Amino acid sequence: MTRSPSRRRPAGLPDAIDLDAELARIAAMNIEELREMWREKRKHEPPAALTKDLMARALSHWLQEERLGGLETPLRRLLATVANPSYS
């Protein structure tokens, strides 16, 4: 399975360093900083039940998806059918 060039940038060292630095910054944030980042990135309030760890993980996931590209549509569909057989 290949990715289209428009979905993924070539993996260059400076980009990887920047991404690693941003992930480390997210991991070091306190819960209020994470909530603020959530509001900025997601444009709504974070769920009240999310712990600091889960919020950091979600924000890190979205950042990596934004930078590296998300799952391709056929793979997302396959995962959806495996997760919910009535989906297909």
The pLDDT value recorded for residue 2 is 45
The CA-based angle 66-70-73, given to 5 degrees, is 145
pLDDT in tens, 32-74: 999 999 999 999 999 999 999 999 999 999 999 998 888 899 9
Report the largest interatomic distance among the alpha carbons of the chain, rounded to a whole angstrom. 44
| Residue 8 exposed, middle or buried by CB count within 10 Å (0-12, 13-18, 19+) | middle
| pTM exceeds cut of 0.75 | no
pLDDT in tens, 6-41: 445 555 556 778 999 999 999 999 999 999 999 999
The Cα 50–Cα 29 span in angstroms is 15
